[in-house]
């Protein structure tokens, strides 16, 4: 079953015919590379898929409630948080569950024979564990490290990051959010060789759907299982 599909899409800008008669389907778990020369309409098609633009003709359909994450070529990340706190914001619900467990543990320490309190603690801890509560900080450090951010960068405010660092920070946040469809437009632009190899390995294990726009055929060979090719008109 498709999570996103397009039927007979066309896009015009005035007299300029960007593309026409484009149809596609993406199923859960598909990993697609979108390739073609500059000017073929790759980014325009991505924007139609994301719902950021409307097609001149045709239609795009998403599965109900589909969560999409998008890394554009020119990334922005407006935040007053530090880099590490921005990553932790992905796990706000889990961190609230953690605080509930800590609060109940404190109450239980003061009243260890309270069976009702013990049951509440057990239920809260089970929810916390199932949500990955003991692993989320390890995941944050793993992803930041893989994309070239050492521990010394954790306290850097988002507002002082360079353009390339912002792109890598947004990519890290998207990977941690694990959207059902991850859309990456030229994700390797600001990555060194080590970070690129790490990302290749990470995306090979990605369990959700993936759409990657890239001119790097080797990178695509490592991470996708289907290719959509667009040709300039």
Q: Strand, coil or helix: what is 60? A: strand
The gap from C-alpha 51 to its chain's centroid, in whole angstroms, comes to 16
Beta-bridge mates of residue 14: none
Task: Give pLDDT, residue 164.
Answer: 95
Taking only the tens place, the pLDDT of each residue in 111-142 is: 888 888 888 888 888 888 887 778 899 999 99
Chain-wide mean pLDDT for the chain? 93
The residue-averaged pLDDT of 47-59 equals 95
The angle subtended at Cα 36 by Cα 33 and Cα 41, nearest 5°, is 100
pTM, to two decimals: 0.89
Name, in order, each residue with C-beta under 8 angstroms of 56's C-beta and a sequence gap of 6 or more: 10, 11, 12
pLDDT, one tens digit per residue, over 165-185 is: 999 999 999 999 999 999 999
């Amino acid at each position: 079953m498709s999570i996103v599909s397009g039927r007979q899409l066309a896009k015009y800008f005035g007299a300029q015919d960007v593309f026409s008669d484009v149809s596609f389907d993406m199923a859960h778990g598909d990993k697609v590379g979108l390739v073609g020369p500059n000017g073929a309409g790759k980014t325009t098609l991505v924007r139609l898929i994301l719902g950021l633009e409307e097609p001149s003709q045709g239609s795009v359909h998403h599965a109900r409630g589909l969560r999409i994450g998008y890394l554009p070529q020119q990334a922005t990340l407006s935040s007053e948080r530090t880099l590490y706190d921005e990553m932790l914001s992905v796990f706000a619900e889990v961190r609230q569950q953690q605080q509930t467990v800590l609060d109940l543990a404190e109450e239980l320490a003061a009243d260890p024979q309270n069976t009702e309190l013990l049951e509440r603690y057990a239920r809260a801890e089970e929810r916390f564990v199932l949500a990955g509560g003991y692993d989320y900080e390890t995941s944050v450090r793993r992803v930041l490290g893989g994309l070239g951010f050492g521990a010394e960068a954790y306290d850097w405010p988002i507002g002082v990051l360079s353009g390339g660092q912002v792109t890598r920070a947004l990519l890290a946040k998207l990977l941690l959010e694990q959207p059902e469809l991850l859309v990456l437009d030229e994700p390797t632009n600001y990555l060194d060789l080590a970070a690129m190899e790490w990302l290749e390995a990470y995306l090979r294990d990605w369990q959700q759907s993936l759409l990657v726009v890239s001119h790097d055929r080797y990178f695509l060979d490592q991470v996708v299982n289907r290719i959509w090719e667009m040709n300039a008109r």
